[in-house]
Amino acid sequence: MRTEVRIVASATALPEIHASGGLSARRTAPHTVHLIGTAATPLGGDELDITIVVGPGARLAVRSVAATIALPSAATPASLAHWRFQVDTGGELDFDPEPTIVAGGAHHHTITSVRLAPDARLRLRERVQIGRSGEDAGGWRGDLIADLGEMPLLRHRLELGAGTAADDRLAAPRALESELRYPDDHPAETTDLTETRLPLAAGGTLLTRTGSLLAAAP
Q: With cut-offs at 50, 70 and 90, classify the pLDDT of residue 217.
A: low
Q: pLDDT confidence of 76, banded at 50, 70, 90?
A: confident
Residue range 134-153: mean pLDDT, rounded: 92
Give the mean model confidence (pLDDT) for residues 99-119: 95
Separation of alpha carbons 5 and 37, rounded Å:
11
Hey, where are the domains in the chain? 2-159
Higher pLDDT, 120 or 193: 120
pLDDT over threshold 80, residue 68: yes
- Characterize 12-38 residue by residue with b for buried, 16 or more Cβ atoms within 10 angstroms of its Cβ, and e for exposed: eeebebebebbbbbeeeeebbbbbebe
pLDDT attached to residue 172? 78
Report the distance separating Cα 98 and Cα 179, nearest Å: 13
Q: Which residues contact 12 (CB under 8 A, 6 or more apart)?
A: none
* pLDDT tops 80 at residue 104: yes
How far, CA to CA in Å, does 12 sit from each of 16, 90, 95, 117, 140? 11, 14, 20, 19, 39
> According to the model, what pLDDT value does residue 25 have?
97
User: Per the confidence metrics, is the pTM higher than 0.85?
Assistant: yes
Percent of the chain at pLDDT exceeding 90:
77
CB 142 within 8 A of CB 157: yes
Residue 58: is its pLDDT beyond 80? yes
Number of H helices, E strands in the chain: 0, 18
